């Protein structure tokens, strides 16, 4: 944070943050006199977090004590609703601390997170395992059928009650102590996992000084690598493990030896036997998770997680994964055979290695469809894509986005937008689009503040979308690949789930839904990327202004199913490995890459020293443990839902309004299966997904 303070001062119109009477000078504890009470990032320094969090925890503990010691009989309002607001300051500070640790961190901030994480876990345990507090909750829960509760209130009551049970409130003696200690260890190990992957990501570069080694790479990729080298004070070209650098290199570079070097570096993160190694982290986490589940009476961690999901048992999940695997396997085998035969025609050595597949599959794609996706990049200028997405949401839901300069940002790359529905303020959207050493890889949506409307006090969300897209190069603007545009659409789907929510309680708003439903609203938006009626609204050449050629759009559609089996099998394999880690009933003793190799049914030969799991932050640091299958599960839902948009018209306002009213605005106030039925009028059908992937053929 200190490093960018001068940029923040120069690039934002700062609003005064005046302490209320009796408050300290710590900005994290003050009432923010900023637009929409947005975080005053220029005022917040690393040294503020620890004292602010400890003060916030004390205040929250006092609020909890007040609920517990209340003389009045427990009611929905004085207990269940009171719990929703008891930890407001803790939530506010956590929303800043952990989000910035993901996207704008430094070693000092990482150490602060490691210090505060166990303290936050102890506080959480003190609430979740408080028997007197639970007694009040249970008293309300036991008479729920006689209370006149709305659907949302009933959901909140049930979630609150189950939350206590699932967090060990009924445990006693040594079991209670072990559960609390394990949860502290797990929270720290999760942060350590992220820290290790980021460090390994940053500790590797490929420095090229011989131009011949760049053969095959597109001009924009080489230019970006040259800019990277200049930023580092080096001659030549520098490639990193950030995906806009790694992805094109592994796809286009003719130099097989360098492709192998890059591939091995990327796929050995967390598995290099150095101080960032995640093998022990994963061994500890998986067994601690098993212990937690076992203490609560479950056979394994997967059973524990799924007991609160749409896919509610390991048996049901395994059946889903197996069914999808069997459907995808013949197609995936054809994909591999076709790419292998083509590579052989080009003189490739067989069998194909993992660093060969992207390279030869891209060349085959160009031959089959007479199309190179790099030709799309000049038509996908980031600013134009962003406006195209904004306009799409305007067309569907009537919302508008206005860039503002009077809201502070935590880094000069960040842009801020006010989102409006007519005259109604819907929330603030922060967009952070480009990679840097202080940001973890990938793309995600998060929030600095959730939406709520308790006692008529309407709080609108502060939503953040973070990506790692190609940077501007030289005088050229940032130009996206088609995949990057699709990722942008995906994350904006999550963002709009938050921005269009209209719930009462923050723990149920926005994306606070069951994990195997959360990806549906984001994945459904990806479908528009393949529609000419949408692409024609914004895809124009950044130099000439020409619209994207119709023949390009036809080729995008024609290639939509290319490698569908291969990609589906890859996603399913990740779900299977996740399932395998979380159905263990004894400690993992072997190397993590050996465990992965045993359970991942991949079609290419394994590579010594490489694996996915030691950098699989989704399941070890991102909340997707026993839930990675949710991406594929949600594909069934999104394909089915988009079929209704296709039937009625992809810009049909009535369909969009129904989707908004019956799903997006509802957050987690009802079970996802009910929300789906309310919109579609029936249960999900796999036919749309099978057709989209070509598995019916």
Taking 70 as the threshold, does the pLDDT of residue 130 lie above it?
Answer: yes
- Residue 10: the pLDDT is 31
- 253 and 127 in a common domain: no
Domain final residue, candidates 142, 174, 198: 198
**pLDDT tens for residues 16-68?**
333 333 457 999 999 999 999 999 999 999 999 999 999 999 999 999 999 99
In a domain, 459, yes or no: no
- 252 and 286 in a common domain: no
In a domain, 445, yes or no: no
- 37 and 168 in a common domain: yes
Domain final residue, candidates 220, 238, 266: 266
Active site residues: 491
Taking 70 as the threshold, does the pLDDT of residue 7 lie above it?
Answer: no
- 186 and 65 in a common domain: yes
Taking 80 as the threshold, does the pLDDT of residue 8 lie above it?
Answer: no
In a domain, 180, yes or no: yes
- Residue 3: the pLDDT is 36
Looking at residue 77, which CATH number applies to its domain? 1.10.1370.40
Out of 14-28, 330-344, 537-551, least confident range: 14-28
In a domain, 643, yes or no: yes
Report the residue count for the chain: 697
Paired tokens of 138:
């249970």
Residue of 452, 401, 406 lying closest to 431 (CA atoms): 401
- 252 and 119 in a common domain: no
- 135 and 23 in a common domain: yes
Q: What is the mean pLDDT of the chain?
A: 94
- 579 and 623 in a common domain: yes
Number of domains in the chain: 3
Q: What is the DSSP string of 61-93?
A: HHHHHHHHT--SPP-IIIIIIHHHHTTHHHHHH
Band of pLDDT at residue 139, cut at 50, 70 and 90: very high
Taking 70 as the threshold, does the pLDDT of residue 293 lie above it?
Answer: yes
In this structure, are strands 462-466 and 237-239 parallel, antiparallel, or unpaired?
A: unpaired
In a domain, 480, yes or no: no
Out of 29-43, 160-174, 201-215, 546-560, least confident range: 546-560
Taking 80 as the threshold, does the pLDDT of residue 320 lie above it?
Answer: yes
CA angle 515, 118, 451 (to 5 degrees): 40
Looking at residue 362, which CATH number applies to its domain? 1.10.1370.10
Band of pLDDT at residue 474, cut at 50, 70 and 90: confident
- 248 and 128 in a common domain: no
pLDDT mean over 224-237: 97
Q: Which domain holds residue 115?
A: 2-198
- 288 and 217 in a common domain: no
- 184 and 92 in a common domain: yes
In a domain, 608, yes or no: yes
- 280 and 224 in a common domain: no
In a domain, 271, yes or no: no
In a domain, 524, yes or no: no
Model's pTM, two decimal places? 0.94
Percent of the chain with pLDDT over 90: 94
**pLDDT tens for residues 584-640?**
999 999 999 999 999 998 899 999 999 999 999 999 999 999 999 999 999 999 999
| Rounded CA separation 511/528 (Å) | 21
Taking 90 as the threshold, does the pLDDT of residue 136 lie above it?
Answer: yes
- 143 and 217 in a common domain: no
Band of pLDDT at residue 168, cut at 50, 70 and 90: very high
Domain final residue, candidates 198, 224, 245: 198
- Buried b / exposed e along 181-206 (16+ C-beta atoms within 10 A): ebbbebbbbbbbbbbbbbbbbeebbb
């Amino acid at each position: 944070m200190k490093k960018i303070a001068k940029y923040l001062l120069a690039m934002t119109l700062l609003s005064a943050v005046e302490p209320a009477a009796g408050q300290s000078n710590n900005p994290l504890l003050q009432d923010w006199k900023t637009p929409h009470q947005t975080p005053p990032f220029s005022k917040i320094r690393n040294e503020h977090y620890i004292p602010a969090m400890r003060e916030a925890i004390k205040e929250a503990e006092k609020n909890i004590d007040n609920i517990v010691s209340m003389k009045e009989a427990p009611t929905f309002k004085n207990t269940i609703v009171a719990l929703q607001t008891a930890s407001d300051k803790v939530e506010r500070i956590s929303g800043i601390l952990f989000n910035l640790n993901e996207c704008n961190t430094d070693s000092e901030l990482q150490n602060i997170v490691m210090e505060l994480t166990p303290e936050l876990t102890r506080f959480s345990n003190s609430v979740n395992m408080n028997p007197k507090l639970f007694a009040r909750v249970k008293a309300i829960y036991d008479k729920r059928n006689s209370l006149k509760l709305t659907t949302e209130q009933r959901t909140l009551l049930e979630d609150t009650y189950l939350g206590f049970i699932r967090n060990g409130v009924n445990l006693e003696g040594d079991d209670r102590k072990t559960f609390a200690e394990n949860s502290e260890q797990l929270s720290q190990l999760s942060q350590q996992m992220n820290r290790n992957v980021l460090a390994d990501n940053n500790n590797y570069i490929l420095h090229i000084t011989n131009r011949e080694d760049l053969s095959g790479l597109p001009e924009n990729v080489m230019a970006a690598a040259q800019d990277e080298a200049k930023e580092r004070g080096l001659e030549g070209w520098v490639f990193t493990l950030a995906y806009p650098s790694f992805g094109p290199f592994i796809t286009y570079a003719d130099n097989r030896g360098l492709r192998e070097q890059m591939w091995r570096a990327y796929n050995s993160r967390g598995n290099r036997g150095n101080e960032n190694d995640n093998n022990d982290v994963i061994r500890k986490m998986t067994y601690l998770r098993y212990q937690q589940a076992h203490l609560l009476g479950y056979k394994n961690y997967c059973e524990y997680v799924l007991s609160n999901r749409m896919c509610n048992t390991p048996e049901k999940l395994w059946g889903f994964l197996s069914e999808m695997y069997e459907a995808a396997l013949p197609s995936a085998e054809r994909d591999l055979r076709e790419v292998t035969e083509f590579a052989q025609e080009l003189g490739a050595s067989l069998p194909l290695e993992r660093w060969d597949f992207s390279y030869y599959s891209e060349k085959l794609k160009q031959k089959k469809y007479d199309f190179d996706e790099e030709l799309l990049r000049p038509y996908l200028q980031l600013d134009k894509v962003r406006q195209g997405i904004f306009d799409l949401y305007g067309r569907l839901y009537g919302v508008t986005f206005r860039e503002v300069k009077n809201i502070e940002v935590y880094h000069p790359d960040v842009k801020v937008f006010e989102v409006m529905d007519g005259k109604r303020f819907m929330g603030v959207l922060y967009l952070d689009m480009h990679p840097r050493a202080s940001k973890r890889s990938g793309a995600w949506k998060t929030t600095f503040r959730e939406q709520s409307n308790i006692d008529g006090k309407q709080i609108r969300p502060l939503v953040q979308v973070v990506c790692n897209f190609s940077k501007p190069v030289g005088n050229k603007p940032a130009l996206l690949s088609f995949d990057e545009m699709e990722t942008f659409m995906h994350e904006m789907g999550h963002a709009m789930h938050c921005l269009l929510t209209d719930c009462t309680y923050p723990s149920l708003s926005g994306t606070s839904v069951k994990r195997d439903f959360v990806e549906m609203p984001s994945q459904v938006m990806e479908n528009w990327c393949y529609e000419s009626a949408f692409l024609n609204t914004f895809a124009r050449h950044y130099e000439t202004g020409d619209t994207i050629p119709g023949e390009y759009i036809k080729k995008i559609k024609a290639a939509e199913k290319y490698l569908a089996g291969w990609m589906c099998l890859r996603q399913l394999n990740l779900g299977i490995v996740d399932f395998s880690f979380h159905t263990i009933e004894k400690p993992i003793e072997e190397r993590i890459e050996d465990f992965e190799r045993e359970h991942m049914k991949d079609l290419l030969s394994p590579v010594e020293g490489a694996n996915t799991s030691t950098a699989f932050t989704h399941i070890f640091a991102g909340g997707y443990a026993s839930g990675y299958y949710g991406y594929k599960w949600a594909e069934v839902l999104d394909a089915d839902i988009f079929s209704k948009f296709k039937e009625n018209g992809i810009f049909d306002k009535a369909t969009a309004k129904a989707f908004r009213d019956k799903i997006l605005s509802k957050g987690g106030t009802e079970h996802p299966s009910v929300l789906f039925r309310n919109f579609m009028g029936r249960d999900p059908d796999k036919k749309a997904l099978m057709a989209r992937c070509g598995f019916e053929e």
